[in-house]
A and B are shown apart, each in its own frame.
Chain A
Amino acid sequence: MNATETGLSRPLAAPYTDGVCDGVLRYQQCSACGGAQTLARYACQHCGQRAAMPWRDAAGTATVRAVTEVARAPSEEFRALAPYTLVIVQLDEGPRLMAHAASGVQIGQRVRAGFFEHNGRALVRFDPMV
């Protein structure tokens, strides 16, 4: 049942968070200029128009732009995982995304999205493309 059928409002980022649960990365594409963006927004960061922003499925391939290994986890639930690698990647469709990654990934490296569950929540992890 979708939001229209129930009459309940759906969180703006739901197509993304639902997608991660279903094993697919989604991004918004501006119907006015065609620009692609991550994070859920009400208007296009490229052209500034408050145009329709339909969600598209990403290929899941990306390039690493930033990487860190978190040693000091912010909460008990992540302390068990530490140290863990976080990255910001640039999706092949253009926009950036923060996610987990295989230990040792390097800036500039080509990676592909995979998915895992931690404490009942679906998360994205990028692994090097072979």
Chain B
Amino acid sequence: MNAVSRPAYLRGAGGTAFGRHEGRSALDLMDDAAALAIDRSGLQRSEIDGVLCGYATTLPHLMLSTLVCERLALRPRYAHGMQLGGATGAAMLMAARELVRSGRCRNVLVLGGENRLTGQSRDSSIQTLAQVGDMDYEVPNGASVPAYYALMASQYMHLTGVTSQDMAEFAVLMRTHARSHPGAHLRTPITLQEVLAAKPIARPLSLLDCCPISDGAMALVVADQPSDHAAVAMVGAGQAHRHQHLTAMEDVLQCGAGEAARRAFDEAGLGLCDVDYLAIYDSFTITLTMLLEEIGFAPRGGAAQRARAGDFAAGGVLPLNTHGGLLSFGHCGVAGGMAHAVETWEQMTGQAGARQIRQPRHAFIHADGGVMSSHVSLLLSRED
């Protein structure tokens, strides 16, 4: 192995549409996504020498990555699964980068997908997700994931002055972006008033403050050589893990997102002002609000103002989740967070079709798992 770190590039990416894929299994969906990502990478399947695979709640398995490799006829020299909630995809990309940088692997397939919508009952899905709560202190209260985020939202709103109207801006923005992506789960236009009037799930969050549950899969290839379309280098990465449970979150204004982002920016030698594209986790409107403000892309309580000013629109100075994010493109678990990275790659390499914006130069990706529990930040730079 070379003592000097080698560069790592996002070489290919792709996925299925999100939404309802009746009758299709987690592996069916993963196979489609992997085939597209490998095809777009220009590599032969036999050249994939590393596989990282995210968990699937509809397919609990001791060795999911090995199962996937057998079904997809891949024979990597390195493989394992990963579980880090919504941060799994970004964490797998960070790990794949390390495998390439160290010389351990040349072409790592990063994969996630599941039939989360049609593969189980809605109650079963909601109860599985609620298990991110503490089994003795939180879950017995009848708490759900939206309830955890709603509790956090109430405190954040109290401390910063953020309002329900502010958060609703992001539900509308994500829906607007999803309308231009044929693969998005939710594409019906919505208004600010409709978000505010939607049925409550856990106050202050209404149905339209929450992402849907979807079926789908996403895959990316991290390699030592760039794509033929454009060289998208992975120039920085960082993580932070301060708590698992909401009860253990010490400071709602410092949940770990800022810490992870600083590590990524320091490694890349870049600053906030260099970034011209954002791919930020948005399981709920409060998630997006808090991440934008803690990381520093908006002042405290000021994220909605930037949205109203058009800054985060596709044609704005800092386009945000141009595929529609979890809130409207959809959320099928691990692949939900990976869709942000796939969209980023498509935009940076000029392959976003009718959605194409001015090709970003430096993109920032952030994902969180649990209840703002695990944070992963990534920085991508176009080298051409």
Contact = CB atoms under 8 A, between A and B. Distances in A.
Interface of A: 11, 13, 16-17, 38-40, 45, 65-78, 81, 83-84, 86-88, 96-100, 107-108, 118, 121, 123
A81 B143 CA distance: 12
B151 A66 contact: yes
B200 interface: yes
Contact of B140 (A68, A71, A84, A121): A121
Given A86-B202, A98-B246, 9 more contacts: A39-B134, A70-B147, A71-B201, A72-B144, A72-B200, A72-B202, A83-B200, A88-B247, A121-B140
Interface in B117-135: 123, 126-127, 130, 134
A81 B200 contact: no
A24 to B, nearest CB: 15
A13 B246 CA distance: 17
Interface string B200-222: 11111100000000000000000
Given A67-B154, A70-B144, A70-B147, A40 B136 contact: yes
Nearest to A99: B141
Interface in B131-163: 134, 136-138, 140-144, 146-147, 150-155, 158
Contact of B202 (A40, A68, A76): A68
B142 A107 contact: no
B141 A86 contact: yes
B104 interface: no
A107 B202 CA distance: 16
Given A39-B248, A70-B143, A74-B143, A98 B202 contact: no
Given A13-B136, A107-B158, A98 B123 contact: no
Contacts of B142: 70, 73-75, 77-78, 81, 84, 86, 118
Contacts of A123: 140-141
Contacts of A118: 142
Given A38-B247, A45-B248, A88-B247, A98 B154 contact: no
B245 interface: yes
B206 to A, nearest CB: 9
User: For chain B, which range describes its interface: under 10, 10 to 19, 20 to 34, or 35 or more residues?
Assistant: 20 to 34
Contacts of B150: 68, 70
Nearest to B252: A66
A71 B247 contact: no
Contact of B155 (A17, A84, A107, A121): A107
Contacts of B202: 68-72, 86
B308 interface: no
Contacts of A96: 247-248
16 contacts: A13-B137, A16-B137, A38-B247, A39-B134, A66-B151, A66-B155, A68-B150, A68-B202, A68-B203, A69-B203, A71-B199, A71-B202, A77-B142, A81-B142, A88-B247, A98-B143
A12 B144 CA distance: 23
**Smallest CB-CB A-B distances: 7 pairs:** A78-B142, A68-B150, A13-B136, A74-B144, A66-B155, A66-B151, A71-B200
A11 B135 CA distance: 12
B151 to A, nearest CB: 4
A67 B202 CA distance: 10
Contacts of A73: 142, 144
B130 A74 contact: yes
Given A68-B202, A98-B138, A88 B130 contact: no
Contacts of A17: 136
